[in-house]
A and B are shown apart, each in its own frame.
Chain A
Amino acid sequence: MTTFLGMPALPAFGSGNLFAGESFPTAAHRELGNAQLRANLGHATHTIRDKRQAVVAELPDWEQLRDAGSAIKQAVMARLPELLEEFETNFTARGGVIHWARDAREANEIVAGLVRDTGETEVVKIKSMATQEIGLNEYLEEQGIGAFETDLAELIVQLDHDKPSHILVPAIHKNRTEIRDIFLREMPGADPALTDDPSVLAMAAREHLRRKFLTAKVAVSGANFALADSGTLAVVESEGNGRMCLTLPETLITVMGIEKLLPTWQDLEVFMQLLPRSSTGERMNPYTSLWTGVTEGDGPQNVHLVLLDNGRSAALADEMGRSALHCIRCSACMNVCPVYERTGGHAYGSTYPGPIGAILSPLLTGIEAEENNSLPYASSLCGACYDACPVKINIPDILVHLRSVDVDSKRGKKKVPSQMDVGMKAASWALSSGKRLGLVEKGLPLGRLAAGPDRKITKLPGIAAGWTQSRDIPAPPAQSFRDWWAKEHRNAGGAPGTPGTPEAGPSRTLSPDTKETPQ
């Protein structure tokens, strides 16, 4: 329809598992009560970040690789339409078939249709964030197609009817005993004598999946990279389940976000150095598979790729936020994040947890999407994520930017001012003039009265109660600094408000014992 040409495209936000079901503060508050989770996570994130640090330090050119990676991704975003077309031409020329999907629903329908065309009712799956994002497994299930996760961690999560909590190690929130219990409960034919030794559990998974691999006719995967100049796709993995799925079935269906492109084959040398070291802290992951369309006599002969937008074009439209699309899903940011470490991945609600999720999810769904607007606040802005990111995504800056977008989007919408609004207004009135502040400070002794004889305020009213829920506030001093200064300088013979003698100022260190009764 040529009539549509030239009309500005509206931002088309994503759908599927990108939405938090509840706000981050609510979910985090609940997750913080789980001491087991926190212990598992603390151990896991510290182990992985130490390993990462060690292998990153081995490379003399790590910063140069980051610079190259960052620039390559910037170039990809700037040239995205032409690169997609170039990739399409090359992949198609070698026998691959490309499908385009605007959103989760469309992608799910395409995949289900392709599976149905094969006459099969089962697929084996390689761990993939894109299919997690669109909720493919659940959709296929509704269509009568069984989807079997083959990555060990995804298998654990699937067997437990749980959700992944980390993008690299989805079952990081579970320890070995919990995993053994899940296997015993959910894995048909599991040995009742199964121990919780990780190698024993891995072998149980091998037994469980072996037949599936050898007989599966259809596999579904994601892709880590797509190289435009050769039409090549890449999957990076460890266990060999990826190789099984990519090689043995007759039909291979890959779902990939449109931002995963790299312009040239040469660019792979940058990302294959950045990704393994950043994600698992290894010099190289055990297995990487690369395929370009169809190769006669080797691997699947029906090869499909679903190119997924699902909000990526909307994220791209945000000039400040678009670099969130540079993400290569290494998860280094979540392993160094003090907030993720304590709340775990489920608190973020969306498929993408941690610092990158806090910016990516609201960019893909729009900040006005219900509950996702609390995600940009799920951060201390400490910047550890920015330091760890192999492609230098400035997550803290984007978080601040999204907070301002959130505030702007709410402006003028509220009819009744909230306690926060009233408080802020009062603070603004008081802080805008020295006289007003002095007046307010006259009320300090009232706070002492409220604190009582133990000199602690343990309960504040209204929204301020959140502050006193986990800490006490010491009683305010009997007089304000302003009053003390005025009195001091009157005593010292100076005029009030003028600088006193040198001895009067800095030499008077106020110890905790004396601070309430300055001389």
Chain B
Amino acid sequence: MTAREDILSRIRAALQDSPQAPQIPREYRAASELDMDALIELLVDRLVDYKAQVAVVPETEVPARIASLLDGARSFVVPEGFDAGWLAGTGDDGGSRRRVDSPAAPLSVAELDGIDAVVTGSAVAVAETGTIILDGSANQGRRAISLVPDHHICVVKAADITGILPEALGRIDGTRPITMISGPSATSDIELERVEGVHGPRRLDVIIAR
């Protein structure tokens, strides 16, 4: 017998008493009732609690905000599908400072390691938990780019903010490569004292565009 057959037959034998699968009681909250202002306020509160930096700006001011956050960066990477208009303030230097990562021309890990910052969009956010979800869409790129550079600048559109997790997961295709981010990298392994920044980006800037 293969291990597969063996294990499945062991499990069937273990369930000889034929336990019934119960109805799942889903009386927990499926949606929140907060309006847009309240959602933004809550998301900002949670993100700041995680030591992320947050700015809420009108969409027209996103380019200026990105440009100023990138002030000290010698280089940054954006996914190919990132809104070019949002990068207007950074100036197109033909590729020496602004690097573009695309499926056709992905940057190597070593190249990513030499890049100071990354700018991405996001798929959906959860106000209650301060969580931003990236699903690998064209404006977010592959997972490695938002991981290796030390500074992550992430633009969240107000329309993509949900109140609670069930609402957010309902909007996502689970088979995509997904990263859920709640604040910058952190550890509590030494005497349970929270330290921000270990292996992932140590600095997370969130721009909420409303």
Give the B-binding residues of A (Cβ under 8 A).
1, 4-5, 8-9, 11-12, 40, 43-44, 47-48, 60-61, 64-65, 67-68, 71-72, 74-75, 77-81, 84-85, 94, 99-102, 106, 150-153, 156, 169, 171-172, 175-176, 179, 198-199, 201-203, 205-206, 209-210, 213-215, 227, 230-232, 238-241, 243-244, 246-248, 258, 265-270, 272-273, 276, 280, 282-292, 295-299, 307, 309, 313-314, 316-317, 319, 322
Contacts and interface: CB of A to CB of B under 8 A. Distances in A.
A104 to B, nearest CB: 13
Given A68-B25, A240-B147, A240-B185, A198 B195 contact: yes
A287 B175 contact: no
B180 A288 contact: yes
Q: Interface of chain A, helix or strand or loop or mixed?
A: helix
Contact of A9 (B13, B26, B106, B176): B13
Given A176-B190, A238-B186, A286-B200, A80 B11 contact: yes
B14 A316 contact: yes
A285 to B, nearest CB: 7
B174 A297 contact: no
B137 to A, nearest CB: 11
B22 interface: yes
Interface stretch (B1-9, B53-61, B90-98, B153-161): B1-9
B191 A150 contact: no
20 contacts: A48-B192, A64-B25, A68-B28, A72-B24, A77-B15, A80-B11, A81-B11, A202-B190, A243-B199, A247-B143, A266-B169, A273-B28, A283-B128, A284-B126, A286-B186, A287-B185, A292-B177, A314-B10, A317-B13, A322-B14
Nearest to B181: A287
Nearest to A106: B3
B72 interface: no
B24 A12 contact: no
B147 A243 contact: yes
Contacts of A47: 192
B122 interface: no
B189 A169 contact: yes
B199 A241 contact: yes
Contacts of A106: 3
Given A71-B25, A171-B189, A238-B188, A206 B14 contact: no
Contacts of A202: 187, 190, 195, 197-198
Given A60-B29, A84-B8, A152-B187, 6 more contacts: A71-B24, A77-B15, A94-B175, A240-B198, A247-B144, A258-B7
Given A169-B189, A201-B190, A292 B28 contact: no
B7 A198 contact: no
B112 to A, nearest CB: 9
A347 to B, nearest CB: 21
A169 B174 contact: no
Contacts of A267: 24
B18 to A, nearest CB: 8
A100 B12 CA distance: 16
B183 A286 contact: yes
Contacts of B21: 74-75, 78-79
Looking at B6, B7, B197, the one whose CB has the most chain A CB atoms below 10 A away is B7
Contact of A152 (B28, B179, B189): B189
B181 to A, nearest CB: 6
B180 to A, nearest CB: 4
Contacts of B106: 297
Nearest to B7: A309
A402 B44 CA distance: 49
Contacts of B184: 286
Nearest to A12: B10
A383 B87 CA distance: 57
Contact of A8 (B7, B13, B143, B190): B13
B185 A239 contact: yes
A231 B46 contact: no
Interface string B117-135: 0000000001011110000
Nearest to A58: B128
A16 to B, nearest CB: 16
* 10 smallest beta-carbon distances between A and B, as pairs: A240-B200, A317-B14, A75-B21, A313-B10, A240-B199, A153-B189, A284-B129, A288-B180, A316-B14, A298-B142
B130 A198 contact: no
B27 A287 contact: no
Nearest to A76: B21
A299 B177 contact: yes
B174 A213 contact: no
B113 interface: yes
